[in-house]
Protein backbone atom coordinates (compact mmCIF):
# COMPACT_ATOMS: atom_id res chain seq x y z
CA UNK A 1 0.00 0.00 0.00
CA UNK A 2 1.57 3.29 -1.07
CA UNK A 3 1.03 6.63 0.61
CA UNK A 4 0.55 9.89 -1.29
CA UNK A 5 2.44 12.86 0.12
CA UNK A 6 2.06 16.39 -1.21
CA UNK A 7 4.96 18.76 -0.60
CA UNK A 8 4.83 22.44 -1.46
CA UNK A 9 8.25 23.59 -2.63
CA UNK A 10 9.74 26.89 -1.37
CA UNK A 11 7.83 28.72 -4.16
CA UNK A 12 4.48 27.16 -3.17
CA UNK A 13 4.32 24.73 -6.10
CA UNK A 14 2.85 21.31 -5.27
CA UNK A 15 5.11 18.28 -5.62
CA UNK A 16 3.12 15.07 -5.23
CA UNK A 17 5.00 11.87 -4.53
CA UNK A 18 4.35 8.41 -3.19
CA UNK A 19 6.00 6.56 -0.35
CA UNK A 20 5.63 3.34 1.58
CA UNK A 21 4.78 2.88 5.26
CA UNK A 22 8.03 3.02 7.22
CA UNK A 23 9.67 5.51 4.84
CA UNK A 24 11.08 8.65 6.42
CA UNK A 25 9.57 11.97 5.33
CA UNK A 26 13.02 13.56 4.91
CA UNK A 27 14.19 10.84 2.54
CA UNK A 28 10.94 10.99 0.55
CA UNK A 29 11.29 14.76 0.16
CA UNK A 30 14.93 14.51 -0.87
CA UNK A 31 14.08 11.82 -3.45
CA UNK A 32 11.46 14.21 -4.86
CA UNK A 33 14.19 16.84 -5.35
CA UNK A 34 13.13 19.18 -2.56
CA UNK A 35 15.72 21.34 -0.74
CA UNK A 36 15.72 19.46 2.56
CA UNK A 37 19.28 19.11 3.72
CA UNK A 38 19.07 16.92 6.83
CA UNK A 39 22.82 16.91 7.41
CA UNK A 40 22.57 15.47 10.91
CA UNK A 41 21.26 12.10 9.66
CA UNK A 42 18.26 12.20 12.02
CA UNK A 43 20.24 12.93 15.17
CA UNK A 44 18.58 16.34 15.62
CA UNK A 45 21.85 18.27 15.60
CA UNK A 46 20.43 20.69 13.02
CA UNK A 47 17.08 21.97 11.74
CA UNK A 48 17.83 21.83 8.01
CA UNK A 49 14.99 19.39 7.31
CA UNK A 50 12.31 21.68 8.74
CA UNK A 51 8.87 21.48 7.11
CA UNK A 52 5.56 23.15 7.88
CA UNK A 53 2.80 20.59 8.26
CA UNK A 54 -0.63 21.54 6.90
CA UNK A 55 -2.82 22.57 9.85
CA UNK A 56 -5.34 19.77 9.24
CA UNK A 57 -2.53 17.20 9.53
CA UNK A 58 -0.54 18.57 12.44
CA UNK A 59 -2.54 17.01 15.28
CA UNK A 60 -2.80 13.71 13.40
CA UNK A 61 0.96 13.15 13.53
CA UNK A 62 2.70 11.69 16.56
CA UNK A 63 3.71 14.56 18.85
CA UNK A 64 7.18 16.04 18.59
CA UNK A 65 9.66 15.09 21.28
CA UNK A 66 10.97 17.75 23.63
CA UNK A 67 14.32 17.56 21.83
CA UNK A 68 12.64 18.15 18.45
CA UNK A 69 10.74 21.14 19.82
CA UNK A 70 14.03 22.56 21.11
CA UNK A 71 15.66 22.13 17.67
CA UNK A 72 12.74 23.86 15.98
CA UNK A 73 13.69 27.00 17.92
CA UNK A 74 16.66 27.22 15.51
CA UNK A 75 14.67 26.56 12.32
CA UNK A 76 14.43 29.45 9.89
CA UNK A 77 10.79 30.38 9.27
CA UNK A 78 9.36 28.05 11.93
CA UNK A 79 5.60 28.14 12.45
CA UNK A 80 3.19 26.64 14.98
CA UNK A 81 2.86 23.52 12.80
CA UNK A 82 6.58 23.10 12.08
CA UNK A 83 8.25 19.71 12.40
CA UNK A 84 11.60 18.16 11.51
CA UNK A 85 10.99 15.83 8.58
CA UNK A 86 13.77 13.49 9.77
CA UNK A 87 11.60 12.69 12.80
CA UNK A 88 8.50 11.62 10.83
CA UNK A 89 8.29 7.98 9.82
CA UNK A 90 5.31 7.46 7.57
CA UNK A 91 2.39 5.16 8.36
CA UNK A 92 -0.64 4.14 6.31
CA UNK A 93 -2.71 6.65 8.29
CA UNK A 94 -0.63 9.46 6.77
CA UNK A 95 -1.93 8.94 3.23
CA UNK A 96 -2.63 12.43 1.87
CA UNK A 97 -0.19 14.21 4.20
CA UNK A 98 0.58 17.75 3.05
CA UNK A 99 3.69 19.69 4.09
CA UNK A 100 5.48 22.81 2.88
CA UNK A 101 9.18 23.50 2.59
CA UNK A 102 9.73 27.02 3.99
CA UNK A 103 10.63 29.74 1.49
CA UNK A 104 13.78 30.48 3.46
CA UNK A 105 14.98 26.86 3.45
CA UNK A 106 18.70 26.32 3.08
CA UNK A 107 20.18 23.42 1.21
CA UNK A 108 23.95 23.66 0.98
CA UNK A 109 24.05 20.60 -1.27
CA UNK A 110 22.93 22.82 -4.15
CA UNK A 111 25.22 25.81 -3.54
Report the chain's mean pLDDT, rounded to a whole number.
90
Residue-level pLDDT at 105: 55
Q: How many Å separate Cα 95 from the centre of its chain?
A: 14
The pTM score is 0.89
DSSP-derived letter for residue 75 is S
Summarised one tens digit per residue, pLDDT across range 59-88 is 999 999 999 999 999 888 899 999 999 999
Residue 95 pLDDT > 70, yes or no? yes
Residue 43 pLDDT > 70, yes or no? yes
Apex 7 CA angle, 16 and 9, nearest 5 = 110
**Percent above pLDDT 70 for the chain:** 92
Amino acid sequence: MSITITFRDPHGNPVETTAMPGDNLLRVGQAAGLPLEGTCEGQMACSTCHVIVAAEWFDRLPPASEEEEDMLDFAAGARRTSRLSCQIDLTGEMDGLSVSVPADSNDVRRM
